[in-house]
Amino acid sequence: MLCNRVIDCLVAGFVVVLLSSNGFTSGTETDLFCLRSIKNSLQDPNNYLITWDFTNRSEGIICKFAGILCWHPDENKVLSISLSDMGLKGQFPRGIENCTSLTGLDLSNNQLSGRIPSDIGGIVSFATTLDLSSNDFTGPIPKSLFNCSYLNILKLDHNQLSGEIPPELGLLGRLTTFSVSNNLLNGPVPRFPNLTNRADMYANNPGLCGGPSMSPCSSPPSNGPHTAVIAGAAVGGITIAAIGVGIGMYFYFRNASMKRGKRDDDPEGNKWAKSIKGKKAIKVSVIEKSVSKMSLSDLMKATNNFSKNNIIGSGRTGCIYRAVFENGTSLMVKRLQESQHTEKEFLSEMATLGSVKHANLVPLLGFCMAKRERLLVYKDMPNGTLHDQLHPVDDGGEPMEWSLRLKIGIRAAKGLAWLHHNCNPRIIHRNISSKCILLDENFEPKISDFGLARLMNPIDTHLSTFVNGEFGDLGYVAPEYTRTLLATPKGDVYSFGVVLLELATGERATHVSKAPEDFKGNLVEWVTKLSDSSKVQEALDVSLVGKNIDGELLQFLKVAQSCIVPTPKERPTMFEVYQLLRAIGEGYVFTTEDEIMMPTDTEHDGGLEELIVAR
């Protein structure tokens, strides 16, 4: 199981690298041409594609087309196309090949006919989902599907496909769903390395053999090996190789873990800190003019050589140390996990992050490079993380008051909305949680770690989180990420919705203390279950109930629920989340100075009142 997860994650990392290296995150004319050619090649008797109006050339307009999901809501770059149940007629639309960053295609339950293109493996080569079921496609299943090596879901059932199932499909090691039932297929069924064949996957194909509830296949001719045998041998080779890589990765991370343990037991400080002592004279590049000049030597002295006793937080991007200087000043120093970026790339990222200024973001004060180490200097946040304030270890403190929780929710939403809509360049956080929302001396929330995901090596990051049994910050990751492998603004909205649930319920994202003992789900699943049974009020923090604020609490919870719906398109934008929360807090003093931002775009045309009702 460990081997499978490591290999699966390694491939996921490569998908991210390949897509980003080809510049797939910026809008191009090819995607507009792609959708226009699709519309022109299909008959649309029910006018479902009437929203595909190409007269408006503004950036992001195609993201509002029916069935289109974009990489970013304001860029003309298509992530997936879902045109199921529209009654569409015609042949497979070859124009799809111009949507070069496509990761999902669903044309199911239509009246499409003709052959599936023989080169479909090149048309949708990066697809993780391909659903052509319930149409009238004829001819063979193309062998080129083997080239779609990132496929998780392949559905070709309920068509009129004939011939053998290409044995090469057995090499699609990421498949979790496969169906070719109700066709005219014959010959042996393939064997998949990570998918168990079931009878329903092949039902109503009288000519198939060698699968569940099927007759055994006849012996292959003596003049040469059967292709299925060849495929089986290839699968065996791939499986053995995968096991070998998995074992290697297991021992690599185990050794790394042992090294970390030895480092923490070192009474004189971390070994990595010792290794850079020869670089003490290196100056810290100061971004904020108000910060005194300092060197690496000053940072080491202020953190007691980066002692583990000075660690005040840790996460996917690295550890944070409190640095206390001789003059009494306190700062935070983040040691980034090892990055594959060159010095030039790192300096470029620092220049960008250093220019990002907002009242609800933790300001980057400076940075330092020593050998392969990357150290970031931030303003100190005396009240720690929102997570620790909401979920104290000793459970002896007073619960956080509602007015403070509401203020934190509004101001944190304001900071994240600014990153999404007003920052230039716009930034997707990718790792929002209550642990990355820090609180200053006045309990003003400041979002940390923004922009750092781009400094991490995607393969190393995914591997380390998978090996440690996590997937990002467990409990906060949007459900579509495991399918698309892509960070989006709506993914941030989902994660922030979980933070809002924490504020309203007082429960942790991964564990619900009030839930029955037999409940094994996370906070999102618990609140959703209560909502489905009309008992959502039971989710509210008992310390807040009965204080004449129940109406505000339920409104707040409703906003949180709108953020965690499974379908990304149905979630509000962060600007809308900010406005909805601000409307709830209109009666409080802390909203009077909150200016209303005017982003360049939103995804919803309806007003706030309409959105609240809809949610």
pLDDT digits (tens, 9 = 90+) for 519-551: 878 999 999 999 888 888 899 999 999 898 999
Residues 273-278: contacts with CB under 8 Å, at least 24 apart: 273/300, 273/305, 273/306, 274/305, 275/371, 276/370, 276/371, 276/373
193-220: per-residue pLDDT in tens? Answer: 878 888 889 999 989 998 888 889 886 5
pLDDT at 453: 63
408-430: per-residue pLDDT in tens? Answer: 999 999 999 999 988 877 888 88
Task: Specify the higher pLDDT residue, 160 or 298.
Answer: 160
Maximum mean pLDDT: which of 26-40, 287-301, 387-401, 573-587: 573-587
pLDDT > 90 in the chain, percent: 32
Maximum mean pLDDT: which of 51-55, 183-187, 206-210, 255-259: 183-187
pLDDT at 297: 84
For the domain 27-209, what is the CATH superfamily, name and number? Ribonuclease Inhibitor (3.80.10.10)
Q: How far is residue 5 CA from its own chain's centroid?
A: 17
- pLDDT reading at 72 higher than 80: no
DSSP 324-369: E-TTS-EEEEEEEPP----HHHHHHHHHHHHT---TTBPPEEEEEE
Task: Specify the higher pLDDT residue, 277 or 465.
Answer: 277
Q: Is 118 helix (H, G, I), strand (E, B) or coil?
A: coil
209 secondary structure, DSSP code = E
Confidence at 318, pLDDT banded by 50, 70, 90: confident
Both structure tokens of 415: 């900071």
pLDDT at 16: 40
Task: Specify the higher pLDDT residue, 457 or 425.
Answer: 425
Over residues 454-463, mean pLDDT:
42
Residues 43-49: contacts with CB under 8 Å, at least 24 apart: 43/88, 43/89, 43/90, 44/86, 44/87, 44/88, 45/87, 45/89, 46/86, 46/87, 48/83, 48/86, 48/87, 48/88, 49/83, 49/86
- pLDDT reading at 510 higher than 70: yes
Of 128-132, 466-470, 496-500, least confident by mean pLDDT is: 466-470
HEC profile of 292-318:
CCCEHHHHHHHCCCCCHHHEEEEECCE
**Reported pTM:** 0.57
d(CA 197, CA 342): 46
Of 275-284, 324-333, 585-594, least confident by mean pLDDT is: 275-284
Over residues 388-403, mean pLDDT:
82
Task: Specify the higher pLDDT residue, 185 or 430.
Answer: 185
Beta sheet of 373-379, edge-to-edge order: 285-286, 364-370, 373-379, 330-336, 318-324, 311-315
Over residues 436-451, mean pLDDT:
89
Confidence at 608, pLDDT banded by 50, 70, 90: very low
pLDDT at 253: 46
Confidence at 316, pLDDT banded by 50, 70, 90: low
Q: Which numeric CATH code is attached to 383-588?
A: 1.10.510.10
User: Strand 89-91 relative to strand 68-70: parallel, antiparallel, unpaired?
Assistant: unpaired
Of 147-161, 168-182, 218-232, 571-585, least confident by mean pLDDT is: 218-232
pLDDT at 110: 93
| H or E, element range at 557 | helix 550-563
pLDDT at 604: 40
Confidence at 116, pLDDT banded by 50, 70, 90: very high
The chain-wide mean pLDDT, for the chain, equals 78
pLDDT at 401: 93
Domain residue spans of the chain: 27-209, 281-380, 383-588
d(CA 349, CA 344): 9
Over residues 102-112, mean pLDDT:
91
pLDDT at 470: 34
pLDDT at 474: 67
Over residues 360-386, mean pLDDT:
85
For 397-423, letters b (16+ CB in 10 Å) and e give: eeebebeebbbbbbbbbbbbbbbbbeb
d(CA 414, CA 434): 15
CA torsion angle 525 531 533 537 (round to 10)? 120
- pLDDT reading at 446 higher than 90: yes
Pick the CATH number of 281-380 from 1.20.272.10, 3.30.200.20, 3.40.50.1980, 2.60.40.180: 3.30.200.20
CB 464 within 8 A of CB 253: yes
pLDDT at 55: 83
